[in-house]
Each structure stands twice: as structure tokens, then as C-alpha cells.
Amino acid sequence: MKKYSTLGEFIINNQKHFKGSSGELSRLLNAIRLAAKVVNHQVNRAGLVDILGNAGEVNIQGEEQQKLDVYANEIFMHTLINREIVCGIASEEEDDFVAIKGNNGKNDNKYILLMDPLDGSSNVDVNVSVGTIFSVYERITPEGQPVTKDDFLQKGNKQVAAGYVVYGTSTMIVYTTGNGVNGFTLNPAIGTFYLSHPNMNFPKKGNIYSINEANYIHFPQGVKDYLKYIQKQVEKGHKYTSRYIGSLVSDYHRNMIKGGIYIYPQSTNNPKGKLRLLYECNPMAFLAEQSNGMATDGYQRIMDIKPTELHQRVPFFCGSKNMMTKAAEFMSNYAGDAMY
Ligand code: P6P
């Protein structure tokens, strides 16, 4: 793979993977690249331009919206809509999906996008990394007609592309179109993303576990047993580390590079888990499986779950195969709990 490719060159070079591609997906990925740079600029200035704190509104999740949530959502929406690249968008920050009409009143684009425009935004005012997560499908309803909910409620195994932007110590775009996972780092001096992490893969053996252990008493027994197993392994001299940032993209990114598992299980206080299937779990699951990792709800592949509503939540286990396999062993002892 050419060293020092820019993201733009990489997108064009990889277009050949899509037989008869009309370049629409390339234009979509380029639009995401542009929006990511605009949001990055604002995220990096968050402490300076008084856009911290809550926007005062509450989104459909019942969570207070941070102003940057609203800003990031608007940037990605406008960038995509103004370029007539997709026929529909669903967002964590929008109660319902948005059908997009082209200038001719119709919309012949074939892709839809689902996103969490700024995941982990409650970390913004404590200067902790946050991220944008996106997922792309081909529409299943006839081109030219307005999209319907069916276009958005597709299983994750139908994704065409998925990725995230991590606004961290450096800003990166990590994405897949089904041919492996590649990471690009922004050179802020010239506003260009460079291929810095080609062919990203989870290490075979992981030993980092990411879970909010404050919820231990609320966890399913299988998760409690897995955590007890780790403690026993440490007693025997095996090395494990607990790392939990409270920002999915950041925890996932570190675990993919160093090896590890992220768990947000169902619990007595979150009976369906906390993370959203369509625009958090499915895209991260696509990335995980494309980088020799795994992603389940504790029992089944995330990408095999048939969605029933836009903002539905599912339990989320994601990471290195060795750790995921062990966690699944403990979860299977209580398969009856599977009906969350
Ligand atoms: P908790 C952020 O709100 C988020 O959706 C993920 O990015 C993060 O991993 C998780 O929730 C943190 O949730 O309940 O541990 O604060």
C-alpha cells in the first residue's frame, strides 16, 4: 500500500473495489472528511468560544444536549444534504430520520447514512476525547421515491461502509468499506488526513477491559463472573488492565490498537443496555469484524440483529477474539438472560 497516501487519494484508489461504482460512495466519504475537519476545528476551540455546557434542549434519548452535539449534527447534516450525496439521514440528535429530496424534487442517490454526530459529548467540558460514528447502507426502497423507515432498519451485516472520527490528542478518521480497516491522521497545519494506520487489526491477545464497574451490582451474572475470572487471573500473575474513558470511540480505538474488550451490558438500571444499535453498535461491529475482532450483544453477532426502531438500545460486547470468547463462555451459562 502506497505510503503517505492522503485520505482523498486512498478513497479514489479504493473506488475500484466497487464494481460499476458511480463514485457516489467516494463523494460520501469525502463529504464526511470535510465535515470532520469543520467539527474538529470547533471541538478544539470548545473551551475558548463559550460553547461548553448544555444547549438546554433534551434529545429523544432524554439526555441534555451539549451545544457541540447540536453543532456537530448540523455540520454533518448540512454537508451531506447540500451535496445531494445521500437520500436519507438518521442521527442520534434527530427524533426521526430525514428524507432528502434533490433539486429536481426527487432523490436518485442510493445511499443512506446513520450517525452519532458527537458520541461522548459529556466529556467535552473536561477535555476528554470524543467522536463521530457513521454507518452507510444502500437504500432498499425504489430510487427516486422518498426513503422509508425500512431503509434505516436494515441489519448491520448490510452495511456498505462504517467508521468514526476520534477528536483526540490527534484527530483521526478510521473506516471500512468491507476491505479491512484503515486509519488516517489529520495534519492540522494543512488540513489533510494522511494514511497513518494501514490495515488495522486487533492484536490476537488482549488484556485491557473497558466497563463501568460502578454498575457492577446491576450487571448480569455472566458479566460479574467474567470480571471475577479476570481478578482470579490477576491473582495468578496474569496481566490485565482496566481502562474506561467513558467515550466509546476512544475506548474502542485504544482497544483495537492494544488489544482489549469493551462491554456495556444490559443491567437492572439499563435493561436493554445503553448504546444504540443503528448508529453506535453496528458501525463499531463492522469495524471490529473487519479488523479480526468480534462484536455481540453477549449472545449473538450485533450485525445479525434485526432492528425494530431507530433509537433502540442493545447490550454491547466488542473487542479482541480471545477476550470476547471467554466473556461469551460466562454469558452462555445464563443464556436465559438473553431476552433483554
Ligand atoms: P456511562 C457516551 O455517553 C456513551 O454513549 C459512550 O460513548 C460511553 O462509552 C458510554 O456512553 C459511557 O456510559 O454510563 O459509563 O457513563
C-alpha pair distances (Å), 312 with each of 60, 98, 307: 11, 17, 8
| 316 pLDDT higher than 70 | yes
In-domain check, residue 321? yes
Residues 263 and 153 in one domain: no
> Range with the lowest mean pLDDT among 91-105, 167-181, 211-225?
91-105
Residues 108 and 229 in one domain: no
Which of 197, 227, 248 represents a domain boundary (last residue)? 197
Which of 197, 222, 244 represents a domain boundary (last residue)? 197
Number of domains in the chain: 2
| 84 pLDDT higher than 90 | no
* From 274, 278, 311, 314, mutation site for ligand 1 pocket: most ligand atoms within 8 A of C-beta: 274
pLDDT for 105 equals 75
pLDDT for 107 equals 75
pLDDT for 243 equals 98
- This prediction has a pTM of 0.94
Helix (H) or strand (E) holding 136: strand 130-138
Residue nearest to atom 4 of ligand 1 (CA): 120
Sign of CA dihedral 299, 304, 307, 310: positive
CB of 274 within 6 A of ligand 1: the answer is yes
**Residues with Cβ < 8 Å from 82, sequence gap 6 or more?**
none
Residues 122 and 190 in one domain: yes
Looking at residue 76, the DSSP 8-state letter turns out to be H
Looking at the CA of residue 262, tell me the nearest atom of ligand 1.
9
Residue nearest to atom 10 of ligand 1 (CA): 246
pLDDT for 124 equals 86
Note the pLDDT tens digit of each residue in 218-259. 999 999 999 999 999 999 999 999 999 999 999 999 999 999
Query: Shortest CA distance to 315 belongs to which of 208, 223, 186, 199?
Result: 223
| 20 pLDDT higher than 80 | no
In-domain check, residue 2? no
CB of 128 within 6 A of ligand 1: the answer is no
Q: What is the DSSP string of 89-103?
A: EEETTSSS-EE---T
Q: What is the DSSP string of 164-210?
A: EEEESSSEEEEEESSS-EEEEEEETTTTEEEEEE-S----SS--EEE
Looking at residue 147, the DSSP 8-state letter turns out to be P
Looking at the CA of residue 116, tell me the nearest atom of ligand 1.
5
The residue behind cell 422518498 is: 146
In-domain check, residue 1? no
Which of 170, 197, 224 represents a domain boundary (last residue)? 197
Query: Shortest CA distance to 64 belongs to which of 48, 50, 53, 77?
Result: 53
| 47 pLDDT higher than 90 | no
> Range with the lowest mean pLDDT among 62-66, 83-87, 210-214?
62-66
Helices (H), the chain: 7-13, 24-44, 67-82, 149-152, 221-235, 248-258, 282-290, 321-332
Distance 122 CA to ligand 1 centre (A): 9
Could you tell me the residue range of the domain that residue 82 belongs to? 7-197
pLDDT for 59 equals 65
| 311 pLDDT higher than 60 | yes
CB of 254 within 6 A of ligand 1: the answer is no
pLDDT for 3 equals 59
Backbone angles phi, psi at 321, to 5 degrees: -55, -45
CB of 120 within 6 A of ligand 1: the answer is yes
Q: Read off the pLDDT of each residue in 29-58 and give the average, rounded to a whole number.
A: 81
- CATH code where residue 138 lies: 3.30.540.10
Distance 326 CA to ligand 1 centre (A): 23
Q: Read off the pLDDT of each residue in 312-324 and give the average, rounded to a whole number.
A: 97
The residue behind cell 424534487 is: 105
Sign of CA dihedral 12, 289, 19, 104: negative
Note the pLDDT tens digit of each residue in 262-307. 999 999 889 999 999 999 999 999 999 999 999 999 999 999 999 9
